[in-house]
Structure formats: C-alpha cells, structure tokens
Amino acid sequence: MAKIRRLGVLTSGGDCAGLNAVIRAVTYRAVRHYGWKVFGIIDGTMGLMERPLRYRELDLDMFSGNMLREGGTFLGTVNKGDPFNYPMPDGSTQDRSLDFVDGFNKLALDAVVVIGGDGSMRILSQLCERGGIGMVGVPKTIDNDVHGTDFAVGFTTAVNVVTESLDRLQPTAASHHRVMILEVMGRDAGHIAVNAGISGGADVILIPELPYRLESIAEKIDQVIREGRNHALVVVAEGVKTEDGLNAQVAHSHGQTRYGGIGHYLSDRISKMTELETRETILGHVQRGGTPSTRDRLLASAFGVHAVDMVAKGRLGRMVAWQERGVTDVPLSEVCIGPRSLEPDGTLINVARGLGIYIGESP
C-alpha cells in the first residue's frame, strides 16, 4: 500500500444535490486527519484530459461558508464524451483514455475519489484500470439506481422536491376536481416515483418496473371518487411506456394524437376514460438542484469520510455504500452492471399496495 500524499477528487455525470457536501467531507478527512493535499479536478474527466490541466487545490477554508448547503458541484461536471470513444470534430471517435491517465500522472496524484452514478462509475473504473490508478467511488444519482447501495447521494433531495410538488398540486386538483399527472425523473427505475408518490399522497404510481393497464387506472380513480374525493393524483416515472409498450414521445397509436411524453399521454387517456379534467406537469431539472436534504448531507458526509479512509487503507477499486444502517463498501465490479431497479415485491411497493395505491399489475 503506497503512501498517499496527493488525492484527487472529481464529480462525473449529471449533477445533483449533496455533491459539494461529499467534496467537503473528503477534504476535511484528508486534510484534517491525514494531512494530505487534495486536488479538485474541474469538469469531471475533462479537467485531466485537457491541457493545461484544470484543477484547484482544496483547502479547509473553502468550506467555511455555505458550501455544505449548495446544490450542484462547484467542481463542475461537463461531459464532452466517453474518453474511450471521444467524439472528434470530423465525426470520428478517438481513444483519449491515455490523456486522462497522463493528466493524473502529471498532477502526481496517488489516488482519486470519483463521485458518480452508474455510467460514470463504469467508465471511470475502466480509465483507472487502464492507468493503474487507485480509485474509490462514491455513488450519486437522483434516480437511486446504483447497485450495491441502498441510497445514492442526491436521491432524497429529489424525492423531497417531488413530494413538495404533490403538496402543491393536491389543493389545486381538489379546487378544480381534477386528475393531476406528475411526470418525474426515472428512465430505468421508479425509485423517485414510488417514494414521492407514497409520501405525496398519490392514488396511482406508474414505474418502468411494472406493467400497467389504463383500465385499472380508471377503475382506481373511480373508486377514489366513490369514496368521497373529487380529485386524484397520478405520479409517473419518465421511463414508463404507453400501455402498448411504445415510447410516448413518438407514439402515434391513437389516431392523430402526438404526445410530448408519458405524462401527456396519460393525461389524454385518463381524461377520455374517466371524463374528468386532467392536467399534467413535468418537473424536469428542478429535481436536480438546490439545497441538499438533511439525509443527503448525512450520506455525503459518511461517504466522503469513508472514501478517504479506504484510500488510506489501500482498499481501492471499490465504491462506498450505505447498507442497512451504516456505511460500508463494495467492489466496483459488482456495481457496474447497469441500473438498479426496484424489486417488485420490495417494502415500498408493498406499502403502496397496502395503502390502496394502484402501482401496476403484478408482473
């Protein structure tokens, strides 16, 4: 195990809340406890691929103000392409992975902490392998679809934003006797939709993991109306397909109708089936940013400290993780296997069913 003196840290992939809190924890642990130097790489892999190198030394003073509470990443996370297949101006691609490795060596780093999601973790672990670079990963993604960890940084903030939006949509739905459809992030997995749907009082939650029937949705809304409600709330993950399995943005299956997305599709279908007024809302990028939740700050702090301790102990090629009630770590090889779906009979899906929410047919 090599003696560490200079540690790099970078953020990669889509931003989310809590990244700065991870960087802060990494710096606090590495500088205060181990006395290392910490270098923040600017704009993900780009900072080490471009010349001159783009980075800044991170000192404790940088975090004396508000950084813990700021959304996004002050290091930036611009992605101009996979270094192994980097897009060139002439349309071809080029393997620029050695630029990354060379940048790492030029900066004389001993190891790097990579804060990223599913995809970034895979590419970065290949880059590090290529260069014999010691890497520790920290999982982050609003979608929470990283294998090996119960929670990734940024997820609960996104859930809070969605829940708050449902809190705002419920009274306007009730005032107008409407069915409100809220389309939320989640291309491959329904973590945000299920968590926020339950906590925000949804009647219907649709996720990529479970098939659904429009007729069952209409029946559920009818039931809610019979119980004395005058409105209903539907939460749908963006990755959900039309009932017949098409991408809603290109679907032309119902005559002339062209849909802007799954929310639009459901709004149209539900209004026709139930004769109730419907309205859809697409939350988009507001789910990404903003002040991190308490839980994301805790997670970020635990992950940052543990990541540095792993570097110190030479436990490399691994990702920090939250399992059960504490922080641990797993091999990167177990993580880089694609997005993590919700288990069809996991706790929250059962809670949703237990409350009487329609969350799709049993598979």
Q: Is residue 145 at the binding interface for a copy of itself, with CB under 8 A as the rule?
A: no
Stretch of residues binding a copy of itself (CB under 8 A), selected from 86-94, 126-134, 212-220, 318-326: 318-326
Please say if 43 is a catalytic residue. Answer: no
Q: Which of 15, 82, 99, 143 is catalytic?
A: 143
One DSSP character per residue, 39-89 reads EEETTTTHHHHSSS--EEEE-GGGGSSSGGG--S-TT-------GGGEEPT
Q: Using the 8-state DSSP alphabet, how is residue 153 labeled?
A: B
Spatial distance between the Cα atoms of 140 and 161, rounded to a whole number of angstroms: 17
Residues between 189 and 208 with contacts to a copy of itself, criterion CB under 8 A: 195-196, 198-201
Which stretches of 132-190 are DSSP H helices?
A: 155-176
Stretch of residues binding a copy of itself (CB under 8 A), selected from 75-83, 91-99, 104-112, 209-217: 75-83
> Least distance from C-beta 15 to a copy of itself, angstroms?
4
Position among 295, 316, 317, 330 found at the interface with a copy of itself (CB under 8 A): 295
Cβ-based nearer residue to a copy of itself, 129 or 356? 356
Position among 35, 61, 245, 363 found at the interface with a copy of itself (CB under 8 A): 61
Question: 198-202: long-range contacts (C-beta < 8 A, 24 or more apart)?
Answer: 198/348, 198/351, 198/352, 198/355, 198/357, 199/159, 199/163, 199/166, 200/162, 200/163, 200/165, 200/166, 200/167, 200/170, 200/233, 200/235, 201/166, 201/170, 201/233, 202/166, 202/233, 202/234, 202/235, 202/357
Q: Is residue 250 at the binding interface for a copy of itself, with CB under 8 A as the rule?
A: no
Q: Is residue 167 at the binding interface for a copy of itself, with CB under 8 A as the rule?
A: yes
Residues flagged as binding site: 14, 80-81, 117-120, 141-143, 178, 185-187, 238, 279, 285-288
Annotated binding site for ATP: 14, 80-81, 117-120
Extract the annotated binding site for substrate.
141-143, 178, 185-187, 238, 279, 285-288
List active site positions.
Answer: 143
